[in-house]
Amino acid sequence: MKAYIFPGQGAQFTGMGLDLYEKSPLAQELFENANDILGFSITDVMFEGSAEDLKETKVTQPAVFLHSVILAKTLGDNFKPDVVAGHSLGELSALVANGTLSFEDGLKLVSKRALAMQKACELQPSTMAAILGLEDALVEDICAKTEGVVVAANYNCPGQLVISGDIEAINKACESMKEAGAKRALVLPVGGAFHSPLMEPAREELATAIENTLFNKPNCPIYQNVTANAVIDENNIKKNLISQLTAPVRWTQSVQQMIADGATLFTEVGPGNVLQGLVKKIDREAQTAAATFESNV
Cα dihedral 226→228→233→234 (10° resolution): 40
- The string of pLDDT tens digits covering residues 213-272 is 999 999 999 999 999 999 999 999 999 999 999 999 999 999 999 999 999 999 999 998
Domain count, the chain: 2
Same domain, 224 and 254: yes
Same domain, 38 and 136: no
- The string of pLDDT tens digits covering residues 61-94 is 999 999 999 999 999 888 999 999 999 999 999 9
201 located within any domain: yes
Q: Which residues contact 294 (CB under 8 A, 6 or more apart)?
A: none
> Does residue 273 have a pLDDT over 80?
yes
Same domain, 24 and 74: yes
Q: Which residues contact 289 (CB under 8 A, 6 or more apart)?
A: 265, 266, 267, 268, 276
Same domain, 82 and 158: no
User: What is the number of alpha carbons within 13 Å of residue 193 lying toward its C-beta?
Assistant: 26
Question: Which alpha helices (H) appear in 212-248, and where do they start and end?
Answer: 234-243
Contact yes or no for 130/186 (Cβ under 8 A): yes
Same domain, 16 and 118: yes
Same domain, 46 and 57: yes
Contact yes or no for 92/101 (Cβ under 8 A): yes
**Looking at 68, 88, 126, 176, which residue is catalytic?**
88
Q: Give the pTM.
A: 0.95
Same domain, 112 and 40: yes
**Looking at 68, 87, 176, 195, which residue is catalytic?**
195
24 counts as catalytic: no
Same domain, 103 and 203: yes
Same domain, 222 and 244: yes
Residue 184 belongs to what H/E stretch?
Answer: strand 184-187
Same domain, 48 and 112: yes
The SS3 of residue 294 is coil
DSSP symbols for 74-98: HTGGG---SEEEESTTHHHHHHHHT
List the domain range (segments joined by +) for residue 92.
Answer: 2-122+197-290
CA distance 254 to 257: 5
Other beta carbons less than 10 A from residue 70's beta carbon: 27
Phi, then psi, of 185 in degrees rounded to 5: -135, 95
- The string of pLDDT tens digits covering residues 9-54 is 888 899 999 999 999 999 999 999 999 999 999 999 999 999 888 8
88 counts as catalytic: yes
User: Final residue of a domain: which of 163, 187, 211?
Assistant: 187
Same domain, 17 and 82: yes
Contact yes or no for 186/173 (Cβ under 8 A): no
Strands 160-166 and 230-231: unpaired
Contact yes or no for 156/225 (Cβ under 8 A): no
Strands 265-268 and 2-6: parallel
